[in-house]
Amino acid sequence: MRGRWLLASTALILLGVAAGALSLLRRDLTVKNAPARVEPSGPVARVLKLSGKIQAQKMIPVGTTVSGTIDAFLADVGQEVFEGQLLARIANQGLEAAQQEAARAAQNAQEKVSSIENRVIAARLEASRSRAEANRSRDQFQRAEKAYQRQQMLFREGATPRLVYEKAEREFETARSEFNSLDELARQADDQVSGLVKQQKAAAHALAERNAELENARGSFISAELHSPISGFIVARKGEPGQSISLEEGKDLFEITTDISHLEVVTEPDPGDLKRLRPAQSALIFAAELPGAIPGTLKEIKGSGAIFEFTSPTPFIRPGMTAQVHLTLE
């Protein structure tokens, strides 16, 4: 009996050992047949999300050609403007004083011209009257001269009394004296007209010079009024009213674009992400004003910034708005 129990125990132990060996063998086969796990050797691909401001790709600087103080801005960023529209006023005391002085000089020159013109008119009237008197006196003198010559001839012939002859002689001398006097007055009147005409020409020339100076002063003063050279949209403006600006600072007070369809987003990625960006890389642009995504491209990397360009499908997206840029980093 005891031998049977021993035989049965031995058989059970052998079966257990065989089962364990079989289980280990199956586990080894499973591990060997399983595919090997590859650990990533580089950065894991992920979606990079960037935020930035929308700006126009082509902008035209608009500035003033005078220095001074910003008196007022009459247009804001994002506003549509037309060619010739007044954008700002620049106060310049020197230009204002120069314009006022030029205006006074031009006014004085104009008054002088007007005064001389009135004197010329009066002098011409006087010269005309004097010449008419001289002509009348000349006719009278010529008649008296003929009468005197006739009486002189008759007196020599003894055909006229001395009293008649002497009377004709006195009338002749009186007429000649009057004519000479009136003729001299007429000549002086003509000379006065000639002199005044010369003064008038000189005054007119001076007036033209003063008016030219006034126009230059007004032109400089108008330069202190900044007008838009084109029709478009204001995308940038610098300075504040009351701020003093130099010629250098005033050369680009405004930036205006005529094209709001070709836009770009200026972003500043983290330095690590920036190194993984490449020009021409595809991206998606998201704007709150438009549902869905707009395809874009990485235009350039400039300093610490990345600029993405895109074509806007709607005029509601304007420079100055905020946009999101999504792209995949490999």
- Domains of the chain and any CATH numbers: 42-58+259-330 (2.40.30.170), 66-91+224-250 (2.40.50.100), 94-220 (1.10.287)
Burial of 204 from C-beta contacts in 10 A (0-12 / 13-18 / 19+): middle
Residue 158 has pLDDT above 60, yes or no: yes
Place 188 in a pLDDT band, splitting at 50, 70 and 90. Answer: very high
Give every CB contact of residue 112 below 8 A, 6+ residues apart in sequence: 203, 206, 207
Burial of 69 from C-beta contacts in 10 A (0-12 / 13-18 / 19+): middle
The pLDDT of 147-154, averaged and rounded, is 92
Q: For residue 29, what pLDDT is reported?
A: 45
The pLDDT of 28-53, averaged and rounded, is 62
Q: For residue 95, what pLDDT is reported?
A: 65
Give every CB contact of residue 150 below 8 A, 6+ residues apart in sequence: 168
Residue 288 has pLDDT above 70, yes or no: yes
Q: How far apart are CA 49 and CA 260, in angstroms?
A: 24
Q: How far apart are CA 234 and CA 245, in angstroms?
A: 20
Residue 44 has pLDDT above 70, yes or no: no
Place 221 in a pLDDT band, splitting at 50, 70 and 90. Answer: low
The pLDDT of 80-93, averaged and rounded, is 87
Q: Long-range pairs for 266-272 at CB < 8 Å and ≥24 separation?
A: 266/52, 266/53, 266/55, 266/305, 266/307, 267/50, 267/51, 267/52, 267/305, 267/306, 267/307, 267/308, 267/325, 268/50, 268/52, 268/304, 268/305, 268/306, 269/48, 269/50, 269/306, 271/304
Which has the closest alpha carbon to 166: 186, 144, 151, 181? 151
Place 26 in a pLDDT band, splitting at 50, 70 and 90. Answer: low
Instruction: Identify whether the C-beta of residue 62 lies closer than 8 Å to the C-beta of residue 87.
Output: yes
Residue 24 has pLDDT above 80, yes or no: no
Give every CB contact of residue 303 below 8 A, 6+ residues apart in sequence: none
What are φ and ψ of residue 79, in 5° steps?
A: -85, 140
Instruction: Identify whether the C-beta of residue 226 lies closer than 8 Å to the C-beta of residue 87.
Output: yes
CA dihedral 173, 179, 180, 183 (to 10 degrees): 180
Q: Which residue has the higher pLDDT, 124 or 291?
A: 124
Q: Which residue has the higher pLDDT, 299 or 3?
A: 299
